[in-house]
Amino acid sequence: MALLKKMRHLHLRILPVTAENRHFLLRTRGFHKHSTCQSLPAVEENVLPGNFSAAAVGKDGPLKTLKDMAGPSTISNIIEFFFRDGFSRIHEIQQQHSQKYGRIFKSRFGPQLVVSIADRDMIAEVLRAEGVAPQRANMESWKEYRDMRGRATGLISAEGEDWLKMRSVLRQQIMRPRDVAVFADDISGVVTDLVARVRALRGRQPDGLTVLNVNDLFFKYAMEGISVVLYEQRLGCLEERIPQLSLEYIAALHLMFSSFKTSMYAGAIPKWLRPLIPKPWEEFCHSWDGLFKFSKVHVDRRLSEIQGQLAAGQEVKGGLLTCLLVTKELTLEEIYANMTEMLLAGVDTTSFTLSWSTYLLALHPQVQQQIYEEVVSTLGPDKVPVSEDLPRLPLIRGLVKETLRLFPVLPGNGRITQKNLAVGGYLIPAGTQLALCHYTTSLDEGSFPNAAQFLPQRWVRKDATDRVDNFGSIPFGYGIRSCVGRRIAELEMHLALTQLIQKFHIQVSPLTEEVRAKTHGLLTPGAPINVRFVDRQ
Residues forming contacts to ligand HEM in the complex (CB under 6 A) are: 136, 155-156, 167, 226, 341-342, 345-346, 349-350, 353, 404, 409-410, 413, 475-478, 481-485, 488-489
Shortest distance (Å) from residue 153 CB to ligand HEM: 10
Tell me the C-alpha distance between 208 and 533, whole Å.
9
Tell me the C-alpha distance between 391 and 210, whole Å.
31
**CB-nearer residue toward ligand HEM: 350 or 507:** 350
Q: Where are the alpha helices (DSSP H) in 259-331?
A: 260-268, 279-311, 320-327
Shortest distance (Å) from residue 322 CB to ligand HEM: 16
Tell me the C-alpha distance between 427 and 56, whole Å.
9
* Pair 215, 347: CB distance under 8 Å: no
- Phi/psi for 298 (5° steps) reads -75, -35
Task: List the one residue out of 195, 239, 216, 178 whose CA is nearest residue 488.
Answer: 178
**CB-nearer residue toward ligand HEM: 429 or 475:** 475
- Which regions of 189-322 does DSSP assign to beta strands (E)? 210-211
Task: List the one residue out of 404, 469, 483 whose CA is nearest residue 438.
Answer: 404
- Phi/psi for 62 (5° steps) reads -60, 145
**CB-nearer residue toward ligand HEM: 49 or 412:** 412
Length of the chain: 537
**CB-nearer residue toward ligand HEM: 66 or 409:** 409
* Pair 169, 479: CB distance under 8 Å: no
DSSP-derived 3-state class of residue 452: coil
Shortest distance (Å) from residue 310 CB to ligand HEM: 27
Q: How many helices (H) and strands (E) does the chain have?
A: 19, 13
- Which regions of 417-493 does DSSP assign to beta strands (E)? 421-423, 426-428, 433-436
Shortest distance (Å) from residue 55 CB to ligand HEM: 34
**CB-nearer residue toward ligand HEM: 258 or 482:** 482
Shortest distance (Å) from residue 222 CB to ligand HEM: 8
**CB-nearer residue toward ligand HEM: 389 or 490:** 490
Shortest distance (Å) from residue 253 CB to ligand HEM: 14
Shortest distance (Å) from residue 156 CB to ligand HEM: 5
**CB-nearer residue toward ligand HEM: 69 or 395:** 395
The annotation places the binding site at: 483
Tell me the C-alpha distance between 223 and 215, whole Å.
12
Tell me the one-letter amino acid at 487.
R
* Pair 197, 238: CB distance under 8 Å: yes
**CB-nearer residue toward ligand HEM: 93 or 474:** 474
**CB-nearer residue toward ligand HEM: 119 or 341:** 341
Q: Is 141 exposed, middle or buried (0-12, 13-18, 19+ CB in 10 A)?
A: buried
* Pair 504, 197: CB distance under 8 Å: no
Residues 6 or more apart from 73 whose CB is under 8 A from it? 108
The annotation places the binding site for heme at: 483
Task: List the one residue out of 108, 116, 119 whose CA is nearest residue 72.
Answer: 108
Shortest distance (Å) from residue 125 CB to ligand HEM: 15
Shortest distance (Å) from residue 339 CB to ligand HEM: 9
112-117 and 61-62 beta bridge pairing: unpaired
